[in-house]
Amino acid sequence: MNFKASQIAEILQGKVEGDPDSLVNDFSKIEESKENSLTFLANPKYEKYIYTTKASVVLVNDDFKPEKDISATLIRVPNAYKALATLLEFYEKSMPQKTGIEQPSFIHESAVLGDSVYVGAFAYIGENAKIGDNVKIYPQAYIGDNVVIEDNSIIYAGVKIYHGCKIGKNCIIHAGAVIGSDGFGFAPDETGEYKKIQQIGIVILEQDVEIGANTCIDRATMGETVVRKGAKLDNLIQIAHNVDVGSRTVMAAQVGVAGSTKIGKECMMGGQVGLAGHLTVPDRVKFGAQSGVPNSVKKEGETLLGSPAINVTDFAKSFIIFKKLPDIYRQINEMEKTLKNITNE
């Protein structure tokens, strides 16, 4: 499908600089661009590519000031990265949408399906499940008994949603994710054997939540494990039983959150962050990659790094000292040798 630069600018409410009739039919990265494609420039370190790009149209920020001539047509917008997201969403919605029930699949007679639902081949929908309008359930997904999936949510291939869990509107769950598996609860008996503690709670994903591929969210021992509105979880994340993830909190791959930890809204976690159990994290806290968090965080909006995680300013000062430790160690050894020589004399 071809779009003119002028049509794209109208969608984004942007301003065209160059040929408004420039046609695009694909997207490309600015450093690997090709003819008749659209790309964008949001990060200044990629600016050098805009002067040699083969792309026909480039989205740029309003304040972009070129240092050389540019052959491509520019569309100026307040935020090029946000504009690209808007355009990709528009493009996705313009594509043909899957509907209908493919066979073979199993849908229990007591399950309730809304309008314009898609169920892929080999999917399973259990007893008393409730599926909202425009929900898409891709092949080999498992939807357990009494599961609720609200309107416009997408359940990709191979997702497993255990019994009783609730998925809000406009959620996306990527392939291989498991929602509602048992929390890791065991109690040693008098012989030292571990007796399983039955996990009778559920998982709730509020609306606009996205869960990455192969992420696991455990059901609560009692009550609810909750991922709140607008939170985004990357691939390969573990959320343990009774965790509460705040609204619009984001987590990168391989984050692990132990049981009963409460995380505030708009927090950010880099890859491989690990949080111990029964902690509280206030709103807008940021954790750098591989941070280890053994204790609750007290200050809202703080940035923490390291293991154990400490304030970013303290971490930077400590890291300077850490890099100097070999020299400090050598100096101490030399001082000891000098001291021994003086003592022996």
Q: What is the model's pTM?
A: 0.86
pLDDT above 70 for 345: no
As a whole number, the mean pLDDT across the chain is 94
Do 41 and 30 contact (CB within 8 A), yes or no? yes
Average pLDDT (186-202) is 94
**Packing angle of the helix pair 80-94, 5-12 (nearest 10 deg):** 110
Show the tokens assigned to 225. Answer: 């494990």
* Best CA proximity match to 163, nearest among 130, 135, 119, 132: 130
> DSSP label at 30?
G
Determine the pLDDT at residue 339.
85
Do 255 and 236 contact (CB within 8 A), yes or no? no
Determine the pLDDT at residue 197.
93
* Residues 86, 88: Cα–Cα separation, whole Å: 6
Cis peptide before 104 (omega within 30 of 0): yes
Show the tokens assigned to 232. Answer: 């985004």
Determine the pLDDT at residue 91.
81
Compute and round to an integer the Cα radius of gyration of the chain. Answer: 27
Average pLDDT (214-219) is 98
Residue 171 confidence class, pLDDT cut points 50, 70, 90? very high
User: For 8-21, what is each residue's pLDDT tens digit?
Assistant: 999 999 999 999 99
> The domain 3-94: what is its CATH number?
3.40.1390.10
- What value, to the nearest 5°, has the Cα angle with vertex 248 and ends 246 and 285? 65
Give the catalytic positions in this structure: 241
- What value, to the nearest 5°, has the Cα angle with vertex 107 and ends 103 and 109? 130
* Best CA proximity match to 78, nearest among 40, 47, 37: 40
Tell me which CATH homologous superfamily contains domain 100-311: Hexapeptide repeat proteins (2.160.10.10)
Determine the pLDDT at residue 76.
97
User: For 31-63, what is each residue's pLDDT tens digit?
Assistant: 988 899 999 999 999 999 999 999 999 999 999
